[in-house]
Amino acid sequence: MAEKKKFTLEYEVRSSPRILYSFISEPNGLSQWFADDVNFRDQVYTFTWDDEQQKAKLVAVKENKLVKFKWLDDEPQCYFEMEIVQDELTNDVALSITDFTTDELLAEKKLIWDNQIDYLISVLGA
C-alpha cells in the first residue's frame, strides 16, 4: 500500500476568525459545508456523505484558531487540521488545511478541498 504523505493548502477567506471558527469546529457549522450531516458524541465526530459515515476524533483545539481531527479508521500518523491564520499587518484571514494522502490521489484530494472551501466561502457569503 502506498504511503500517505502530508500536504498543506491555504485559502484566503473573508471572515472574522471567530465566525470562521464556528464553521470548522461546531457540528452545525461543519454540516453546512464539510459534510451532509455531522454528529458529535464522546469527543468523536461522525461525518456523513451520501449515507457513508466516517468517524473522527477531535485531538487538538485552539479557540478561534485551530481544530485537528484524526480519522478512526486511518493510519496512525494521519490527521487533518484546519488552522485559521491571520496576517498581523493586513488582518487578512486565511484557512490553512493540512491533510494526508498518497501521491496518486493528491490532485484529486486537492480538488475536493478546493470545492469544499469554495462552498464554505459561499456559505459565509465572503
The tens digit of pLDDT for each residue in 51-63 reads 899 999 999 999 9
Tell me what the mean pLDDT of segment 82-92 comes to.
96
Question: Domain holding 80: CATH number?
Answer: 3.30.530.20
CB hemisphere CA count around 30 (13 angstroms): 18
CB hemisphere CA count around 69 (13 angstroms): 23
Beta bridge partners of 38: 47
∠ CA(46), CA(2), CA(112), 5° rounding? Answer: 45
Q: 126 pLDDT exceeds 70? A: no
Condensed to tens digits (0 to 9), the pLDDT of residues 27-42 reads: 999 999 999 999 999 8
Tell me what the mean pLDDT of segment 85-103 comes to.
96
Provide the number of structural domains found in the chain.
Answer: 1
pLDDT confidence of residue 2? 81
Domain, as residue range, for 100: 5-124
pLDDT confidence of residue 51? 86
Residues in the chain: 126
